[in-house]
Amino acid sequence: MKLTKKSHACVRLEKDGRTLVIDPGGFSEEDSALGADAVFVTHEHPDHFDEGRLRAALEADPAAEIWTLRSVAEKISAAFPGRVHTVGHGDTFTVAGFDVQVHGELHAVIHPDIPRVTNIGFLVDGAVFHPGDALTVPDHPVDTLLLPVMAPWNKISEVIDYVREVKPRRAFDVHDALLTDLARPIYDRQIGALGGTDHSRLTPGDSTRL
């Protein structure tokens, strides 16, 4: 499987000529969802869900489909009947040659006064886990964790403890648009030293083989 990092929380996974895109939100490139056979959206916040990017992908390829939770599906399903699928915690499905498990139910707490929205994570081929905006621990071993490294709802100690709890073989940073270049070496050093796994980050546009 080939993993390509896009800006912020978005990644592309490619295998056997098929492409899966996760969270092509408003902080990601305009064309981040184009060419996808399937698009996954973890929750409704605009840095993960951008209706224009999803519409562009589905209009460009009549066979492309979206898999997401109800709050997102309700916003776009009417425009693409039969092509937007609602899933939730515990669901399993296969799309574009990828086997997928859904884990998690709620977004992490931003502040007690802010209502929590729903949030799901996707475990792809039993190996690559994108948790969205939550520190969800799947009840399944994770080979590659897509690590939400910097957000209004987390701090570095929580990120480190999350890596320790999931125990992936390796972790790649996502959710990093708010992390400045000045701070990146601090995060790299502390997560790498304390997380207990191989921790790396990719520049948007860079790829690696899993």
Residue 85 sits in a domain of what CATH number? 3.60.15.10
What's the pLDDT score for residue 185? 95
Is residue 130 within 8 Å of residue 23, measured between CB atoms?
yes
Residue 210 in domain: no
Residue 92 in domain: yes
Mean pLDDT calculated for residue range 181-195:
96
Q: What does the chain come to in residues? A: 210
pLDDT 10s digits, 29-52: 999 999 999 999 999 999 999 999
Percent of the chain with pLDDT over 90: 100
What's the pLDDT score for residue 11? 98
What's the pLDDT score for residue 118? 98
Mean pLDDT calculated for residue range 99-105:
98
CB-based contacts of 10-14 (< 8 A; 24+ apart in sequence): 10/174, 11/130, 11/146, 11/174, 12/36, 13/98, 13/124, 13/128
Name the residue range of residue 78's domain. Answer: 2-195
Percent of the chain with pLDDT over 70: 100
What's the pLDDT score for residue 135? 98
Residue 128 in domain: yes
Residue with tokens 């546009």: 205
What's the pLDDT score for residue 29? 98
Residue 129 in domain: yes
The domain tally of the chain equals 1
What's the pLDDT score for residue 46? 98
Residue 61 in domain: yes
| pTM higher than 0.95 | yes
User: Measured between alpha carbons, how far is 101 from 75 in angstroms, rounded to an integer?
Assistant: 23
What's the pLDDT score for residue 38? 98
Residue 206 in domain: no
Mean pLDDT calculated for residue range 160-169:
98
What's the pLDDT score for residue 22? 98
Residue 202 in domain: no
Residue 200 in domain: no
Mean pLDDT calculated for residue range 187-192:
96
pLDDT 10s digits, 38-94: 999 999 999 999 999 999 999 999 999 999 999 999 999 999 999 999 999 999 999
What's the pLDDT score for residue 57? 97
Query: What's the distance, Cα to Cα, between the start and end of the chain in Å?
Result: 5
Looking at every residue in the chain, the average pLDDT score rounds to 97
